[in-house]
Amino acid sequence: MTDMLAELSAAGVAVWLDDISRERLATGGLDALRREKHVVGVTSNPTIFAKAVSDKDDYAHQVKDLALRGVAVGEATRMITTYDVRWACDVMGPAYDATHGVDGRVSLEVDPRLAHDTDKTNAEAEQLWWLVDRPNLFIKIPASLAGIPAITATLAKGISVNVTLIFGLDRYEQVMDAFLSGLEQARANGHDLTKMGSVASFFVSRVDTEVDKRLDKIGTADAQALHGKAAIANARLAYERYERVFTTHRWKALADAGARPQRPLWASTSTKNPAYRDVMYVEELIAPGVVNTMPEATIHAFADHGEVRGDTITTNYADAKQVIDALGGIGIDYDDVIETLEREGVEKFSTSWEELRQTVGSQLTIEGEH
C-alpha cells in the first residue's frame, strides 16, 4: 500500500496532531503516531484540554496532590496543562532532533481570557515557557490586536511562538511583521536565532462554516456554487503573502543570521460539513514548508484515502482571487466575516478555559473533602 502520509510529508507538509491528553501520553498513543503516522508535532488549545481533563480518572493522582497542597484553581490548571505539554515535548523529542529543531514542537496556549491584554499575555507566555522548560515548546498567542505586540515581545526574549486564531489576510500580514520585529529584537538581545521557531496558525474550516451560512441566506444559484470554496481560497492567498514576505531583504538579513521562516500552519482542518470530502483541507493546501495540524480522525482518513497531487496552492492563486471576488460580488463582506470569526474564536476558547477551570475546581473540591 502507498503511504500517503509519507507522500504528504515529502511534498513539504509537516503532519501535526491537533490533540493532547494524559491518556494519549500514558498509553503511548502519541508516540505510536510519531513512529507510524509521520506525526512530527502537536497542538493543544483550551477546548482540547477541557475535554481531556473532564476524564477525571486520568488526572486523579495529580489533582489529589494539588488538593492536598491547597493549590488554587488557576495555578492547578496551569500545573495540569504544563505537565501534559512537557510530557508531549519529551515524546516528540526524536522528531525535534531529527529535523534539527524545525519540527517536534508542542504548543501550549496562554490563557485566552488575556487576549486583549498585552502585558498579561507577555507575563503568562514567559511563565509557561519557564514552567515547561523544553526547547521544543511553542507558546500560543492569539492574533488579537493586543496579541500582536505580545508576539514581538515574547520572541524578543528568545521564546518560540505559535500565533493562533488567524483568519484574515491583513491580520496575517501584521503577524508576519510582528514575527520579523521579534526576531530582530531577539538578535539584538543576543539570542541564538537558530534555536528559535514559529508558526502562524491560519484557521480554515471555520471560514467555510461562517461563509456558507451567509451564502445560504442569499440562496441564489450563484451563492450555492460558492459553498465550500472560501476557506481554501483564503488560505491559498495567505500562502501567497507568506511567499512575498519571506523573500524580502528584511527577511534575508535574519535568515543570514540563522533564522528560520515562520511557517504557515493550517488549523481547524477537519471538515464540519459532512457533504464535503473529509480530507479536502489537507489535499487542497499542499505546498512546501507548511504545517497541517489535524485531529487523529483526519490523519487516519488521509492515510486511508488522501491524495497528494503535488503543489495545490501556488498553482491556484488566480482561482483563489476569483473566489474571493465572487463572494464580494454577491454580497459577502469579507472584512465582516473575519471580524466575526476573530471575535468568536477568542470567545470560544475563553469559554473552554472557564469550563476547564470549573472542571479542575470541582475535582479539587471533591479530593479536598476526602
Residues annotated catalytic, as ranges: 140
Q: Which amino acid is at 57?
A: D
Give kind and range of the element (H or E) at residue 255. helix 249-256
Cell of 12: 513539504
CB atoms within 10 A of CB 126: 16
What is the rounded CA–CA span in Å between residue 96 and residue 115? 29
What is the rounded CA–CA span in Å between residue 314 and residue 357? 43
Cell of 214: 451567509
Helices (H), 43-72: 46-53, 56-68
CB atoms within 10 A of CB 219: 9
Cell of 360: 479542575
Residue-wise over 21-50: b if at least 16 C-beta within 10 A, else e? Answer: bbebbeeebbbebbeebbbbbbbbbbbbbb
Contact 13, 286 (CB under 8 A): yes
Round the CA-based radius of gyration of the chain to a whole number and report it.
Answer: 20
Cell of 188: 539584538
Contact 280, 253 (CB under 8 A): no
